[in-house]
Chains A and B, each alone.
Chain A
Amino acid sequence: MAKREIQEINAGSMADIAFLLLIFFLVTTTMDTDTGLIRKLPPPPEDVSDPEKIDIKQRNIFEVLVNANDQLLADGEYIPVTELKEKVKEFIKGDPNNPEMPEYKVEEVPLFGSIPVSKQIVSLQNDNGTSYQMYIKVQNELIGAYREVRNERAMKEFGKSFDELLVLAEKSEEFSNQAEAIKAIYPQRISEAEPKSIGGKK
């Protein structure tokens, strides 16, 4: 009986099949990595407590107002959004000798013991007609201001920026404690007031 030679399978069309699959995936998928500003909303107000009752001194609040024309009023001054960060940074850092700047309260901070911590709060209020783009810009500047202040302090105290500490925190407890301490000195307090609808349609 003659042994029949096994014929080789022609793999020439393999490339076509692979291309077909490749193109299918190219079309159906999105490449974008998701990025964004991460924020935490305040829990829903409880019916019993009256929000008006919380009394905060004017000097402890940095008020940011955005109107329907995307104009910005920061602590009573009309400024462009590009100058907001510097002003907020100045406010967060504070100045113990200036009666206009926020008060200090002695608090227990890990690694530092009892030190005065600024009672700063940044309050953001926007109009219903404000554009989302402007809102994001303002949020961005506020978050940026906190980050930069923390970075500077961490640099001074530990010789590493806060960003670096956060990256290293996963590996070592020491850095994680340092990051926590910096966070405790400059807690991010961005409060969003209920929006007003003065200028413009929804």
Chain B
Amino acid sequence: MSKFRKDGKKAMPAISTASLPDIVFMLLFFFMVTTTMRQTTLKVNVVLPKATEVEKLEKKSLVSYIYIGDPIKSLQASFGTAARIQLNDAFAVKEDLFQFVEMEKDKRDEAERNMITWSLKVDQDTKMGIVTEVKQEMRKVNALKINYSAKRTDKISE
């Protein structure tokens, strides 16, 4: 009847997938731009505490990380469960901090050496004892700009 009805038996043309690479490349570039490479393999469990007054860390290249927490499951057999410090890819003791700080400073330009932020990524259940030791050590080597890594939250709980 209708003028507009089409013949039912036309075969569907195949959808062109020529633009699929473009779409995927777009995704790829998005991820390449927004992310940073994982630099170190974590040997300690770090669950960051939550806080409301956090600030964003600017200039990733001027940030050095110090991790503190319990060793991960697979390493607990050999290293125990007590909280440890991790610098770069290895466990460390607080005496190693001096060398670590010097090495991190050496990596940067001379002008930027005093602008390094030391980001402490500490597990929330760690006791303050080891954190304080690290802090005292950082004071001794004049690495004073500290950032206590924490996740943003709206409200802190009891």
In the complex, whether B152 has a CB less than 8 A from a CB of chain A is yes
In chain A, what residue has the closest Cβ to B20?
A15
Is A37 within 8 A of B144, CB to CB? no
- Chain B residues touching A, range: 35 or more
Interface of B is mostly: mixed
B residues within 8 A CB of A22?
A: 24, 27-28, 31
Write out the residue numbers on chain A whose beta carbons fall within 8 Å of the beta carbon of B157.
Answer: 82
Interchain residue pairs with CB less than 8 A apart (20)? A15-B20, A22-B27, A25-B32, A28-B37, A28-B38, A35-B55, A35-B151, A36-B55, A36-B147, A36-B150, A38-B117, A41-B138, A42-B139, A132-B49, A132-B124, A135-B131, A136-B51, A139-B148, A140-B53, A202-B129
The answer to whether A81 touches B156 (Cβ under 8 A) is yes
Q: Which of A101-142 contact B (CB under 8 A)?
A: 126-133, 135-137, 139-141
B135 sits at the interface (CB 8 A)? yes
Are A35 and B57 in contact, with the CB atoms below 8 A?
yes
Within 8 A of A (CB), among B10-32: 17-18, 20-21, 24-25, 27-28, 31-32
* B140 and A44 within 8 A (CB): yes
Q: Is A80 an interface residue (CB 8 A)?
A: yes
A199 to chain B, nearest CB (A): 11
Shortest C-beta distance, A141 to chain B (Å), equals 7
A43 located at the interface, meaning its Cβ lies under 8 Å from any Cβ of chain B in the complex:
yes
